[in-house]
């Protein structure tokens, strides 16, 4: 069996894989991307955060997204709206503490991911679709992958470095026994696309709408409008609320829960579901390490928190933007401290998001965002985090997220 040689092999052609491949290719490295699916393919995570635009522009991937946004149904996005038991609030991401883009898109991920991958290919990146990594041998001396191609034939690829951007496939965590339980409870999400037919003067299609269940505040819904009149709609539920129900009846569960919130029921009263509902269960994940000899994990292949603040794609792109220059230096023979320069640097923002996700489910953050009297300066700091700028340590709610949020929640709860 002939072995092929590359500087870097990337597992997965999603946003993290395409971005890392683009940056490394621009640096003159011979890069191979192995993707087990054929694009376009379904993926969840459709509401981007403005911080993502910085990374896409850095890799030369943003122009094609902006140029084709309208024809692909991508919706301009400038913030997030929240609803709970008749109370509404919203965040305008252009009114934030951290400099940088304040707008982005709500995207159909199959088309968004294909646009990024196609652009990387146009730049010269080699992507092999329907090639699945079956095994790996990685040591301080070498990294070798065994790959199954579209004809059912296996071959081997040697690389100086391997990046796992396989998302929920989590290829290297499985093969190298790196997986560990997440800190977050197991939850189920049920979702589908609709012709939403929303006819409401106060509904803002430029924002994702996050709705809290009127009785159970640990249950929440997303409504992500697209520019072609369709929308992604879903509900996230602790399985304790689903006891005795057949979880394979996804349409019934989704429609049943949508009917339980008066505001959503009103907004979607004319909506037509256009695809069968899907289910994802137990999606939160973690690993013992984000890196090792000659490999690193990107995005969801490392840790996935929760979909509530749409942080997944931003974390994935941030991980790719962080790792690419470090791999460049490593391949050039320089000393790289992957613990400090990659793992800790990435986790700084991930941990900030984690603080707010935990506070969402224990309702501290809900009490903050639905509080009737909001300080403009504090709101801009919170808006920055919700816009994805969770690595800006000049923001006190990033640098001391747990302490600051606790104090703020106590103030809101006592007033």
Q: Are residues 8 and 119 in the same domain?
A: yes
CA distance 350 to 303: 9
What does residue 210 show for φ and ψ, rounded to 5 degrees?
-110, 125
pLDDT of 19-41, one tens digit each?
Answer: 999 999 999 999 999 999 999 99
Q: How many Cβ atoms sit within 10 Å of the Cβ of residue 243?
A: 6
Domain boundary residue, one of 249, 281, 313:
281
CA distance 334 to 13: 27
Q: What secondary structure, in 3-state letters, does 156-174 show?
A: EEEEEEEEECCHHHCHHHH
Per-residue pLDDT at 184 exceeds 90: no
Task: Give the three-class secondary structure for 177.
Answer: coil
CA distance 351 to 111: 30
Q: CATH number of the domain that 231 lies in?
A: 3.30.9.100
Domain that holds residue 368: 355-414
Q: Are residues 10 and 72 in the same domain?
A: yes
Q: What is the pLDDT of residue 186?
A: 84
Quote the DSSP letter at residue 285: B
Q: What domain count does the chain have?
A: 3
CA distance 398 to 400: 6
Q: Are residues 157 and 210 in the same domain?
A: no
pLDDT of 246-269, one tens digit each?
Answer: 999 999 999 999 999 999 999 999
| 395, HSE (Cβ side, Cα atoms, 13 Å) | 28
Per the listing, tokens 């269960």 go with 281
pLDDT of 46-84, one tens digit each?
Answer: 999 999 999 999 999 999 999 999 999 999 999 999 999
Q: Please give the C-alpha separations between residue 33 and each of 14, 152, 154, 342, 399, in angstroms, as whole numbers.
A: 10, 18, 16, 21, 35
With respect to residue 97, please indicate whether it lies within any of the assigned structural domains: no
With respect to residue 216, please indicate whether it lies within any of the assigned structural domains: yes
Q: Are residues 177 and 193 in the same domain?
A: no
Task: Round the CA-based radius of gyration of the chain to a whole number and report it.
Answer: 21
Residue 285's pLDDT band (cuts 50, 70, 90): confident
CA distance 282 to 285: 8
Q: What is the pLDDT of residue 254?
A: 97
With respect to residue 125, please indicate whether it lies within any of the assigned structural domains: yes
With respect to residue 118, please indicate whether it lies within any of the assigned structural domains: yes
> By C-alpha distance, which of 29, 45, 37 is closest to 11?
37
Q: Are residues 156 and 21 in the same domain?
A: yes
With respect to residue 113, please indicate whether it lies within any of the assigned structural domains: yes
What percent of the chain shows pLDDT beyond 90?
90
Q: Are residues 15 and 64 in the same domain?
A: yes
Strand partners, 177: none
Q: CATH number of the domain that 159 lies in?
A: 3.50.50.60
With respect to residue 84, please indicate whether it lies within any of the assigned structural domains: no
With respect to residue 221, please indicate whether it lies within any of the assigned structural domains: yes
Q: Are residues 28 and 142 in the same domain?
A: yes
Task: Give the three-class secondary structure for 79.
Answer: strand
- 83 alpha carbon, distance to own chain's centre: 22
Burial of residue 261 (CB within 10 Å: 0-12, 13-18, 19+) is buried
CA distance 221 to 252: 15
* Contact by Cβ (8 Å): 387, 77: no
Q: What is the pLDDT of residue 154?
A: 95
Q: Are residues 289 and 277 in the same domain?
A: no
pLDDT of 327-358, one tens digit each?
Answer: 999 999 999 999 999 999 999 999 999 999 99
Domain boundary residue, one of 223, 257, 281:
281
* Contact by Cβ (8 Å): 167, 267: no
Q: Are residues 256 and 384 in the same domain?
A: no
Per-residue pLDDT at 1 exceeds 70: no
Q: What is the pLDDT of residue 369?
A: 96
Q: Are residues 304 and 155 in the same domain?
A: yes
* Contact by Cβ (8 Å): 39, 117: yes
Q: What is the pLDDT of residue 333?
A: 95
* Contact by Cβ (8 Å): 231, 224: yes
Q: Are residues 342 and 363 in the same domain?
A: no
With respect to residue 92, please indicate whether it lies within any of the assigned structural domains: no
Q: What is the pLDDT of residue 284?
A: 79
Domain boundary residue, one of 261, 281, 301:
281
Q: Are residues 177 and 322 in the same domain?
A: yes
């Amino acid at each position: 069996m002939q072995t092929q040689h590359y500087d870097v092999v990337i597992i997965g052609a999603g946003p993290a894989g395409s971005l890392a491949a683009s940056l490394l290719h621009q640096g003159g490295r011979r890069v191979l991307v192995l993707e087990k699916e054929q694009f376009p393919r379904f993926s969840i995570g459709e509401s981007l955060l403005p911080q993502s635009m910085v990374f896409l522009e850095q890799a030369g991937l943003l122009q094609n997204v902006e140029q084709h946004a309208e024809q692909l149904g991508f919706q301009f996005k400038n913030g997030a709206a929240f609803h709970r038991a008749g109370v509404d609030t919203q965040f305008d991401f252009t009114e934030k503490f951290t400099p940088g883009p304040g707008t982005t898109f709500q995207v159909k991920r199959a088309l968004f991911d294909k646009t990024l991958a196609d652009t990387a290919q146009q730049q010269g990146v080699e992507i092999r679709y329907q090639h699945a990594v079956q095994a790996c041998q990685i040591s301080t001396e070498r990294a070798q992958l065994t790959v199954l191609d579209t004809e059912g034939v296996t071959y081997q690829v040697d690389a100086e470095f391997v990046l796992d951007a396989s998302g929920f496939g989590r290829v290297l965590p499985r093969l190298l026994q790196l997986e560990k339980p997440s800190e977050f409870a197991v939850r189920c999400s049920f979702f589908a696309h609709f012709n939403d037919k929303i006819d409401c003067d106060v509904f803002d299609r430029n924002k994702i709408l996050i709705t809290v269940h009127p009785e159970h505040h640990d249950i929440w819904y997303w409504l992500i409008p697209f520019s072609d009149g369709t929308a992604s709609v879903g509900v996230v539920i602790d399985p304790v609320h689903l006891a005795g129900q057949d979880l394979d009846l996804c349409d019934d569960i989704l429609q049943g829960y949508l009917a339980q919130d008066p505001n959503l029921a009103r907004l979607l009263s004319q909506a037509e579901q256009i695809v069968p509902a899907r289910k994802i269960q137990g999606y939160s994940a973690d690993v013992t390490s984000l890196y090792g000899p000659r490999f690193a994990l990107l995005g969801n292949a490392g840790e996935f928190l929760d979909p509530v603040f749409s942080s997944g794609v931003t974390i994935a792109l941030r991980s790719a933007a962080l790792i690419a220059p470090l791999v460049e230096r490593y391949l050039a023979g320089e000393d790289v401290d992957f613990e400090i320069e990659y793992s800790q640097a990435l986790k700084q923002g991930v941990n900030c998001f984690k603080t707010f996700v935990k506070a969402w489910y224990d309702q501290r953050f809900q009490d903050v965002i639905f509080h009737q009297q909001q300080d403009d300066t504090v709101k801009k700091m919170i808006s920055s985090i919700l816009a994805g700028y969770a690595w800006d340590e000049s923001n006190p709610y990033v640098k001391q997220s747990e302490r600051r949020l606790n104090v703020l929640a106590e103030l809101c709860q006592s007033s």
